[in-house]
Copies of this chain bind each other. A is one copy, B any other.
Amino acid sequence: MFSFRATDTCTTTAARAGWLSTPHGLVQTPAFMPVGTRGAVKGITARQLREVGTEILLCNTYHLALRPGEKLVERLGSLHRFTGWDGPILTDSGGFQVFSLDELRKLDDTGVMFRSTVDGSWLHLTPERAIQIQNSLGADIIMVLDVCPPAHADTPQMLQAVRRTLLWAEKCREAHRRPDQWLFAIVQGGLDENLRYECLQQLIALDFPGYAIGGLSVGEPPPQMHRILQWLGPALPAAKPRYLMGVGRPIDIAEAVACGIDMFDCVMPTRNGRNGYAFTSGGPVRLRNSRWTLADEPLDPACGCYTCSRFSKAYLRHLFVAEEMLGPILVSLHNLYYYQEFMARMRQAIRSGCFATWLEGFRRSPVAREVPNGDHEA
């Protein structure tokens, strides 16, 4: 039912291309997953997701467990049936949101107490519960509950976080009940290489079908992230899919692909799209800028998306200035298409043996100078 194969590898970097087979279809890797926080990518229909080239969708366990609740989703079939997206789905464990959204919480070895952002009630998220929720939601790939400390955490905090992440990974594996779902482990350890290495070794011993890297792109400077990825990416088991959580800017994704990462998710294409920020081959376009008032050309003449085939920057700018919801929709569509095209270009470069050359060129391109780095969905 499940399989993963890296069919092509780069000779000078750790980049690889291949495919991931799931009960709901194939995914070409390296793959980008749009974020459908509450079971919907904001403003984008399931059909539009397909049209922009999406092959796998990420949904947030935390938000769905609070509303509408995993039992409701289970009763109505599964997340696939509920959301109308019949392709592969990955759910995160909810841990990241608990740690980033809720100030009031109590953390111990059994799990984490937090207040619901929906109704203020106290909830206890344990490794067992995180798996139970994800078993009910029914995604193809589910994630262990991990402890995700902030970037500024000190060493004792970081050690404690890794210890609990390992303890919970084992508990999650034991609690997992559905062979039609793949459970991925998450490597923590912040920017400490020894801690990351230790965490990885112990997770490898538990033999998960896939490995993710968590706790990056949480506020550290990008060069720090790249330093960790350079040795950690290739150190993840080669025969299994590798997933870098919550990353990121196109340049971060490209660098991570060069480190052998296969899967990505990020809210940037949609969140930035809603704010009038478009990714283009010529670099970022901020649509509220008055320089586009009379711009009778598409966002990106090199782009084949619906938005670029039909609308001028002047029209898109008008929609943002007039606060028409079609603006966020059209730019989100474009950005999602841009990201999927970007992944396809990298896969093609890897397959044709020219990824290293492509990466060199990309590092010098205007897109590599994209700015903001607020990319996880909290």
Contacts and interface: CB of A to CB of B under 8 A. Distances in A.
B45 A326 contact: yes
Contacts of A75: 294
B68 A314 contact: yes
Contacts of A104: none
Contacts of A208: none
B72 A293 contact: yes
Contacts of A45: 306, 326, 329-330
Interface stretch (A76-84, A190-198, A230-238): A76-84
Q: Of A41, A326, A328, which is in contact with the most chain B CB atoms at under 10 Å from its CB?
A: A326
A222 B366 CA distance: 60
A364 interface: no
Interface stretch (A9-17, A90-98, A176-184, A316-324): A316-324
Nearest to A75: B294
A109 interface: no
B314 A43 contact: no
A40 interface: yes
A368 interface: no
A306 B319 CA distance: 25
Contacts of A344: none
Give the size category of A's interface with B.
Answer: 35 or more
20 contacts: A38-B319, A38-B324, A39-B315, A40-B319, A41-B326, A42-B326, A45-B326, A47-B310, A67-B322, A68-B314, A68-B318, A72-B293, A72-B294, A72-B314, A76-B315, A77-B296, A82-B312, A82-B318, A84-B310, A325-B328
Contacts of A76: 294, 296, 312, 314-315
Interface in A94-147: none
Contacts of A311: 84
Contacts of A82: 312, 314-315, 318
A44 interface: yes
Nearest to A309: B84
A42 B324 contact: yes
Contacts of A303: none
Given A41-B326, A47-B306, A47-B310, 4 more contacts: A39-B324, A63-B322, A67-B322, A68-B314
Contacts of A72: 293-294, 314, 318
Contacts of A77: 296
Given A67-B318, A76-B296, A43 B40 contact: no
- Cβ-closest 4 pairs across A and B: A40-B326, A84-B310, A38-B322, A68-B318
A373 to B, nearest CB: 24
A46 B306 CA distance: 10
